[in-house]
């Protein structure tokens, strides 16, 4: 989980980027003003337009990638909930005392997964859960082995659902850790700052400062980056991965 997305809040990143872009525009404006006052011949430049076009492509790419990863995490929650629910249903068909013991472990397992996903990200809680999940898997395996030794008629279904639970754990953990590569985020920031610098230079060289238009441009870019960054914070951002499937699962287990 050592990732820049878990180290900085999305709103802080958005505000910092907006401030850097505004500073870059001011620096570009001063450069353009010095060129204009120095009598440098002004030629038509397309670098500003090209940089803005490149920035638009990067914003579209990063946002699309982030929303895809967000959707994948949502699908993994559904798959994980379904796997645990199927396993719990199979456990309800076993004989006592294995039935009660296995159902209790499954309920605790589902509750822990819901707790970790629902609360804001806490490294100690997350690492502790990662240590507890294999222990619970081992407890489930021992109880399933006991049921198989007793000659349960649902041996195949019971084994398959247990395998589905352990497999979904690995898949969901991988989906949670799958974030936008930090180098792409840094490239996006560099493109935003350089684009604003070139815009300021062109305005300074022309002696025409479009403050309102520049501020609106900076605000839109910062907002887009904020949303993209927030999508990469599934446990602490504004756009959270819904845990409704687990809420319904835990509610059904309590009946």
Reported as a single tens digit per residue, the pLDDT across 199-225 is: 999 888 888 888 899 999 999 999 999
In a domain, 224, yes or no: yes
**pLDDT category, 242, cuts 50, 70, 90?**
confident
Please check whether residue 36 lies inside any domain of the structure: no
Residue 229 lies in a domain: yes
- pLDDT above 70 coverage of the chain, percent: 94
**Looking at the domain assignment, is residue 247 inside a domain?**
yes
Mean pLDDT of 86-105: 94
User: Is 3 part of a structural domain of the chain?
Assistant: no
Tell me how many domains the chain contains: 1
What's the pLDDT at 94? 93
Decide if 37 is inside a domain: no
pLDDT classification of 44: cutoffs 50, 70, 90: low
Angle between helices 98-118 and 47-91 (to 10 degrees): 160
What span, in angstroms and rounded, lies between the C-alpha atoms of 199 and 28? Answer: 7
39 lies in a domain?
no
Q: Give yes or no for a contact between 161 and 90, defined as CB atoms under 8 angstroms apart.
A: yes
249 is a domain residue: yes
With bands split at pLDDT 50, 70 and 90, how would you rate the model's confidence at 36? confident
Q: Give the Cβ contact number of residue 107 at 10 Å.
A: 17
Contact 140, 102 (CB under 8 A): yes
The range of the structural domain enclosing residue 152 comes to 9-30+45-253
């Amino acid at each position: 989980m050592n990732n820049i997305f878990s180290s900085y809040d999305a709103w802080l990143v958005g505000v910092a980027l907006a401030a850097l872009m505004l500073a870059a525009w001011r620096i570009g404006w001063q450069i353009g003003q010095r060129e204009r006052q120095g009598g440098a011949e002004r030629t038509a430049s397309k670098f500003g337009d090209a940089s803005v076009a490149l920035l638009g492509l990067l914003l579209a790419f990063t946002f699309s990638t982030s929303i895809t990863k967000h959707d994948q995490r949502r699908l993994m929650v559904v798959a994980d909930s379904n796997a645990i629910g199927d396993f719990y249903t199979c456990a309800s068909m076993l004989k006592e005392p294995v039935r009660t013991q296995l159902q209790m472990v499954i309920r605790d397992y589902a509750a822990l997964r819901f707790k970790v996903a629902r609360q804001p990200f806490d490294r100690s809680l997350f690492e502790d859960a990662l240590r507890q999940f294999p222990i619970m898997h081992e407890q489930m395996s021992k109880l399933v082995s006991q049921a198989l030794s007793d000659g349960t008629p649902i041996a195949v279904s019971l084994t398959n659902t247990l395998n589905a639970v352990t497999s979904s754990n690995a898949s969901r953990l991988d989906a949670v850790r799958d974030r936008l590569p930090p180098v792409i985020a840094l490239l996006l920031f560099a493109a935003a700052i350089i684009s604003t610098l070139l815009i300021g230079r062109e305005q300074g060289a022309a002696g025409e400062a479009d403050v309102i238009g520049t501020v609106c441009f900076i605000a839109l870019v910062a907002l887009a980056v904020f949303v993209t960054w927030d999508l990469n914070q599934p446990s602490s951002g504004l756009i959270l991965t819904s845990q409704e499937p687990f809420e319904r699962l835990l509610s059904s287990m309590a009946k």
